[in-house]
Amino acid sequence: MSNGTRTENFRSWFMDKLLMGMSWPEYSRRLITPFNMVAAIILSIGIPLMAIRFVYGLASVTHASNEYPWGILLGWGLFGGVPLSATGFVMGTAYYIFGFKGYKPLVRLGILTGFLGYLFAVIYLMTDLGRPWRIYYPMIIGFGTASVLFLVAWHVATYLTVQFIEFSEAILEWLKSRRVYKWATMIVIGMTIAGIILSTLHQSALGALFLLAPGKLHPLWYSSYLPHLFLSSSIYAALAMVIVVSTLVAKFLPGAADNNFLRNLDRLTVGLGKGACVGMFVYFALKLVGVAHDNNWYLLGTPYGEWFLLEILGFVLLPAMMLTYGVKNSSPGIVRFGAFYAVIGVVLNRINVSIIAFNWNLPDHLHHIIPPWQEFAIVAAIAMIHMLIFRWIVNRMPVVREEPEYKELH
């Protein structure tokens, strides 16, 4: 076979993968949708603002200061995003370690959600910190090995690599690379075990980060149990997030899923809801133990106490009860509603810890809790890029469907 023929065959194969078997005109017409139009508007505003941030500095787009070091970029993107990205750790552990083989249709979806979640958590962090080309500095030069930030930086970077290797099975199936695929399947269990170790450590390390600020974080949110609270909430958050993402895929990307995924989704949703509600009740109990341990009951009558009660009663206990009701009555609809509600509650908790309840005792004129619109626009743009990449991968790769020729190798 001549070089020209091989080049033409590769070009044909590549374009087939890229365009999903369609011609350029057909593919271009399919891009004109209401969602893509909204995405284009958001990106046309957010991307220039990201450029302004890197050219003129963080102060040009945020209210961040020495008093409020974290805005919505990290409150949402890092502290809120990381617990929702524990999906890969939870689903991989359930399937590969504990043998819940019935959840196979959701495993790759969980791993992909986790991988992209961690990847974009790093992107939010780099947008906030600036100088992304110096990412090696906190990992090698800047912090000692006893630093919590050193721990988080290394764990997140290593875990990203682990999750990419876990997801490589889907990539290799998409590329039809059977030889390398066999090697990937041989190491996936080892990568899952590594993921368990890394994920449990850095989820709790994010909570340990706030142990360094006992006078800045409000006593109702500050507790010696913070590492345990962050870890326990990430487990139920991951289960709820898998329910949320699988629901959205079934609703908006049904063509990317096979009948096995769609047919079993209701049953699997109820099963995940059972685990999520148990996790939420454990987390709720730990929150109360934290208040009791520090004897902070008297603070519940203050304005911050009322906000704390709204968080744990309205966004933890209430969705936990919804999930319990949905599971008991085998109602996937109620379970899905409770899962969406639970995800909002986890994000609210992280924003409370990192922004609202942080520096709670500062004078009013120093409070900059509400970020400027520019920061919201940047967050919306990064979130939109996240969704577009997720959609691109799910549409092309065997994430919620099985390739028939690879079934015997699973």
- Tens of pLDDT, residue by residue over 54-66, are 999 888 888 777 7
Higher pLDDT, 141 or 227: 227
Q: What is the DSSP-derived secondary structure letter of residue 290?
A: H
The pLDDT score that the predictor gives to residue 384 is 97
Domain assignment present for 392? no
Boundaries of domain holding 200: 63-371
Domain assignment present for 299? yes
Domain assignment present for 13? no
Domain assignment present for 286? yes
Domain assignment present for 323? yes
Domain assignment present for 180? yes
CATH number at residue 272: 1.20.1630.10
Tens digits of residue pLDDT in 85-123 = 999 889 988 988 888 989 999 999 999 999 999 999 989
Tens digits of residue pLDDT in 17-42 = 777 778 888 888 888 899 999 999 99
Q: What is the DSSP-derived secondary structure letter of residue 217?
A: B
Q: Average the pLDDT over 188-203 and give the result.
A: 80
Return d(Cα 285, Cα 320) in angstroms, integer: 12
Residue 180 C-alpha from the chain's centroid: 28
Tens digits of residue pLDDT in 314-352 = 999 999 999 999 999 999 999 999 999 999 999 999 999
Q: Is 156 helix (H, G, I), strand (E, B) or coil?
A: helix
Question: Number of folded domains in the chain?
Answer: 1
Domain assignment present for 342? yes
Higher pLDDT, 376 or 190: 376
The pLDDT score that the predictor gives to residue 8 is 64
The answer to whether residue 14 scores a pLDDT higher than 90 is: no
**Torsion sign, CA atoms 166, 167, 168, 173:** positive
Two structure tokens written together for 333: 């609809």
Total number of residues shown for the chain: 410
CB burial string 227-261: b at 16+ within 10 A, e below: bbbbbbbbbbbbbbbbbbbbbebbeeeeebbeeeb
Reported pTM: 0.91
The pLDDT score that the predictor gives to residue 274 is 96
**Of all residues in the chain, what percent carry a pLDDT higher than 70?**
93
The candidate with the shortest Cα–Cα distance to 290, out of 201, 211, 206, is 211
Return d(Cα 249, Cα 252) in angstroms, integer: 5
The answer to whether residue 365 scores a pLDDT higher than 60 is: no
Domain assignment present for 238? yes
Return d(Cα 212, Cα 375) in angstroms, integer: 26
Two structure tokens written together for 177: 């690379």
